[in-house]
Amino acid sequence: MYRTERILILTSVLFVGLGLTLAVSRGVLGSENEGLGILVWLLSLLLTVIAGVGAFWLRSGIPVTGSTTLSQSYLPLVRVPLIVVVPAVLVVGFVIFLRLFESGVLQALVLALAALSFSSVFWAQAHSVNWRDRYFGLAQAVLNLLSHLAAFLFFSVIYGLKVRALYSASAVGIVTCLLMYEMLSRDATWHRAMGLPVEGRRTTLALLSIAAGLVAGEITWGLNYWAALSTLVGGAFLLLVFYVIYGVVSHYVERTVTPSIFVEFGAVAALGVGVILASAFLT
- pLDDT of the residue at 163: 81
SS (H, E, C) the chain: CHHHHHHHHHHHHHHHHHHHHHHHHCCCCCCCCHHHHHHHHHHHHHHHHHHHHHHHHHHCCCCCCCECCCCCCECCCCCCEHHHHHHHHHHHHHHHHHCCCCCHHHHHHHHHHHHHHHHHHHHHHHHCCECCCCCHHHHHHHHHHHHHHHHHHHHHHHHHHCCCHHHHHHHHHHHHHHHHHHHHHHHHHHHHHCCCCCCCCHHHHHHHHHHHHHHHHHHHHHHCCCCCCCHHHHHHHHHHHHHHHHHHHHHHHCCCCCHHHHHHHHHHHHHHHHHHHHHHHHC
- pLDDT of the residue at 240: 92
- pLDDT of the residue at 191: 83
Amino acid letter, 232: L
- pLDDT of the residue at 223: 83
283 residues of the chain, pLDDT tens digit each: 558 889 999 999 999 999 988 888 776 555 455 555 677 888 889 999 999 999 888 877 666 555 565 555 777 777 778 889 999 999 999 999 988 888 888 999 999 999 999 999 999 998 888 888 889 889 999 999 999 999 999 999 998 888 888 889 999 999 999 999 999 999 888 888 787 888 878 899 999 999 999 999 999 988 887 766 788 888 988 999 999 999 999 999 988 888 899 898 999 888 888 877 777 666 5
- pLDDT of the residue at 200: 76
- pLDDT of the residue at 218: 92
Which residues touch 248 (CB under 8 Å, ≥6 apart)? 257, 261, 262, 265
What pTM value is reported for the model? 0.91
Distance, CA of 232 to CA of 114 (rounded, Å): 17
